[in-house]
Amino acid sequence: MCLAVPAEVVEILQNDVAFIDVGGLRKKINLSLVEGVQTGDFVLVHAGFAIEIIDEEEARKTMELFEELACLDEIR
Amino acid sequence: MKYVDEFRLPGTARSLVRKIRELGTGATFMEVCGTHTMAISKAGLGPMLSPQVELISGPGCPVCVTSDMDIDTAVAVAHMPGVILATFGDMVKVPGSHGSLSDASAEGATVKVVYSPLEALDLARSESDSEVVFLGIGFETTAPVVAATILEARKRELRNFFVLSFHKLVPPALRALAATEDFSVDGFILPGHVSAVIGSRAYSFLPSEFGIPCVVAGFEATDILQSVFRLMQALTARPSVAIEYSRVVRPEGNQKALSVMYEVFEPVDAEWRGLFRLPASGLGLKEEYREYDAGAWPVEIPPATGDKGCRCGEVLCGKIKPSLCGLFGGACTPDNPVGPCMVSTEGTCASYFLYSYDEVD
Ligand code: SF4
């Protein structure tokens, strides 16, 4: 029930309304729960609202960690 | 980057499983999020990690922890003349002691499934002769969304939109669990999206008062395995709350979402299935927003009928696995559910039934 999906913000209108891209479709969401969203940001969407901005830098770090783990295993 | 496929890495998952098995301690960890429960079952992580690590589910499915009494109240409100009850789909089939919302609808009540509470707001505008009640079920992930909708209703001056708030707060439930005398869980896998809102600091009492290490986890199998691995390492270190899901979760959480949530709601005592009544563990509408509160309506609820033999309460506290319930897989299946843990796709009984066939016998 706490399911939230990542999606890119493609257009920001007035009154906290924005459009995200979901598999090529534009979907309307509400931005009133997050501070400072910009077009091109990825947000987590839950029940029609963005609940957090995804941190690209942190995402990259986690991925690097995962890749490192996989490589370590190949070496063994 | 799309933030989904990049984190689905079978190679990493395999090496994490191996590393966890090498540490082999016989630890038990509890996940407290229905979405984690589902992900764990789907990826078959339970059997992969056992016997080194035992994964058990806690009270992480909002639908499942909702009490019969609250479901009965929702059903009674749905039956009131002129009321349209709007709800997330997960709640429709959950049986209370007098049937579900779906039964109510078959008996003539108007029940509408919405994806967002904002849809219920649109409904209130188009159906101005009706009173639209949104059934507020969910944890801190969902409560800010419902709060923002109430603020929007005020802005749009809608007088026929109401909320029946049964929202619940995760930390008080974890405190109650951790304080249970025979509680023997070595670590918590904490919910990613609840934590996106409340932040990892909200759980600091778990390591500091109870000595239980925690990791806030993302939702891919690799995220969960990485979190288990970190919990294993934490067993021999000073316990803390770590964040594996750092692409989304910050120690302080989402302050804006929290401020919207606490603008509209305040902590109230709440009834949890399996945990009984816990102080300040739910959210009710504040005095200033009472005009939107369907919880204040006088409804008549017939007294609860007899015990159905469902052991959801024990399942939700991690005391028993679903297969120990005598009804599991026989009298109780997803097609014919007796308790909420079998109705919701995130329910522990449903995940066990759908993904671990060997447990059915
Ligand atoms: S199997 Fe069905 S009856 Fe048994 S605890 Fe689970 S939901 Fe309740």
Q: What would the mean pLDDT of B267-295 be, rounded to a whole number?
A: 95
pLDDT at B359: 45
- Rounded to the nearest integer, the mean pLDDT of chain B is 92
pLDDT at A66: 79
B165: pLDDT strictly greater than 90: yes
What is the Å distance from ligand 1's center to B67 Cα?
A: 14
What is the token pair recorded at B1?
A: 């980057």
Helices (H) and strands (E) in chain A, counts: 1, 5
Pocket of ligand 1 (CB under 6 A): B 310-312, 315, 322, 325, 327-328, 332, 338-339, 341-342, 349
Please enumerate residues of A whose Cβ is less than 8 A from a Cβ of B. 1-4, 6, 30, 32-35, 42, 44, 46-49, 51-52, 54-56, 58-63, 65-67, 69-70, 72-74
Amino acid at B113: V
Tens digits of residue pLDDT in B8-18: 667 788 888 88
pTM of the model: 0.93
Looking from the CA of residue B329, the nearest atom of ligand 1 is 1
Take atom 3 of ligand 1 and give the residue whose Cα is closest. B310
A76: pLDDT strictly greater than 60: no
B270, B166 Cβ separation under 8 angstroms: yes
Domain residues for the domain of A61 are 5-75
Please tell me the distance from the alpha carbon of residue B88 to that of residue B71, in angstroms, as a whole number.
Answer: 13
CA distances from B32 to A74, B265, B309 (A): 33, 23, 24
What is the Å distance from ligand 1's center to B352 Cα?
A: 11
Contact state of B34 with A2 under an 8 Å Cβ cutoff:
yes
Backbone angles phi, psi at A31, to 5 degrees: -105, 10
B7: pLDDT strictly greater than 80: no
* Chain A touched by B262 (CB under 8 Å): no
Backbone angles phi, psi at A23, to 5 degrees: 55, 40
pLDDT at B288: 97
B361: pLDDT strictly greater than 70: no
A1: pLDDT strictly greater than 80: no
Highest mean pLDDT among B34-38, B57-61, B82-86: B82-86
Contact state of B15 with A49 under an 8 Å Cβ cutoff:
no
Higher pLDDT, B344 or B278: B278
Tens digits of residue pLDDT in A27-66: 999 999 999 999 999 999 999 999 999 998 888 888 888 7
Share of chain B above pLDDT 90, in %: 73
What string of DSSP letters covers B305-356?
-------HHHHHTTSS-GGGSTTBTTTBBTTB-SSHHHHSTTSHHHHHHHH-
Q: What would the mean pLDDT of A8-31 be, rounded to a whole number?
A: 93
Helix (H, G, I), strand (E, B) or coil at B53: strand
Share of chain B above pLDDT 70, in %: 96
3-state DSSP helix/strand/coil % of chain A, to nearest 5: 25, 40, 35
Going by the DSSP 8-state scheme, the letter that residue A53 receives in this structure is: E
Take atom 6 of ligand 1 and give the residue whose Cα is closest. B349
Dihedral angle over CA of B323, B327, B330, B333, nearest 10: -80
Contact state of A1 with B256 under an 8 Å Cβ cutoff:
no
Structurally, how many domains does chain A consist of? 1
B49, B228 Cβ separation under 8 angstroms: yes
Strands B265-272 and B276-285 turn out to be antiparallel
* Chain A touched by B200 (CB under 8 Å): no
**Contacting residues of A for B139, CB less than 8 Å apart:** 1-2
Q: What would the mean pLDDT of A13-38 be, rounded to a whole number?
A: 94
pLDDT at A4: 87
| CA-only gyration radius of chain B, Å | 21
Pick from B182, B250, B179, B246: nearest CA to B211: B179
Looking from the CA of residue B337, the nearest atom of ligand 1 is 2
B133: pLDDT strictly greater than 50: yes
CA distances from B307 to B17, B68, B177, B304, B350 (A): 41, 11, 24, 9, 20
Pick from B35, B24, B58: nearest CA to B188: B58
What is the Å distance from ligand 1's center to B64 Cα?
A: 11
Domains and their CATH numbers in chain B? 31-295+311-350 (3.40.50.11740)
Residue B1: pLDDT band by 50, 70, 90 thresholds?
Answer: low
Residue B167: pLDDT band by 50, 70, 90 thresholds?
Answer: very high
Contact state of A34 with B256 under an 8 Å Cβ cutoff:
yes
Pick from B356, B322, B316, B350: nearest CA to B30: B316
Please tell me the distance from the alpha carbon of residue B346 to that of residue B359, in angstroms, as a whole number.
Answer: 17
pLDDT at B11: 75
CA distances from B151 to A28, A33, A44, B116 (A): 18, 12, 21, 15
Q: What would the mean pLDDT of B145-164 be, rounded to a whole number?
A: 97
Tens digits of residue pLDDT in B207-260: 999 999 999 999 988 999 999 999 999 998 999 999 999 999 999 999 999 999
CATH at A28? 2.30.30.140
| Residue of A20, A45, A52, A65 best to disrupt the B interface, most CBs of B under 10 A | A52
Looking from the CA of residue B311, the nearest atom of ligand 1 is 5
Residue B67: pLDDT band by 50, 70, 90 thresholds?
Answer: very high
Interface of B with A in 93-122 (CB under 8 A): 115-119
pLDDT at B145: 98
Closest approach of B361 to chain A, Cα-based (Å): 29
pLDDT at B360: 40
Measure CB to CB from residue B3 to each of A6, A32, A73 and give the nearest one: A6
Q: What would the mean pLDDT of B52-77 be, rounded to a whole number?
A: 93
